[in-house]
Amino acid sequence: MDTTHRTEQQRSAEQRRRELLEAADRVVLRDGPGASMNAIAAEAGITKPILYRHFGDKGGLYRALAKRHTDALLAALRAALDAPAADRRRRVEATLDTYLAAIEARPQVYRFLMHPAEEAGLPAEQGFDVGRHSAPLLRRMGEELAEVIAERVDLGGGGEALARVWGHGIVGMMHAAGDWWLGERPCDRAALVSALADLLWGRLAGADDRVDGPGF
Give domain limits for the chain: 58-206
pLDDT, one tens digit per residue, over 67-93 is 888 888 888 988 887 777 668 888 889
Reference 68, options 108, 17, 27; nearest CA is 17
Looking at residue 172, what is its pLDDT? Answer: 94
Residue type, 8: E
What are the residues whose beta carbons fall under 8 Å from the beta carbon of 6, sequence distance 6 or more?
Answer: none
What are residue 209's DSSP bridge partners? 153
> Residue 161 phi/psi, 5° resolution?
-65, -40
Give the CATH number of domain 58-206; options: 3.40.50.150, 2.40.160.60, 1.10.357.10, 1.20.140.10.
Answer: 1.10.357.10
What is the sign of the dihedral through the CA atoms of 74, 171, 102 and 151?
negative
Looking at residue 204, what is its pLDDT? Answer: 64
Q: Report the chain's terminal Cα–Cα distance, integer Å.
A: 52
Task: Tell me the pLDDT of the chain (216 aa) as tens digits.
Answer: 566 656 766 777 788 889 999 999 999 999 888 888 899 999 999 999 988 888 888 888 888 888 888 888 888 988 887 777 668 888 889 999 999 999 999 999 888 888 765 554 555 555 555 555 567 778 888 998 898 888 888 888 888 999 999 999 999 999 999 999 999 999 999 999 999 999 888 766 767 777 776 666
Looking at residue 154, what is its pLDDT? Answer: 85
28 exposed, middle or buried (CB, 10 Å; 0-12, 13-18, 19+)? buried
Looking at residue 3, what is its pLDDT? Answer: 65
Looking at residue 183, what is its pLDDT? Answer: 92
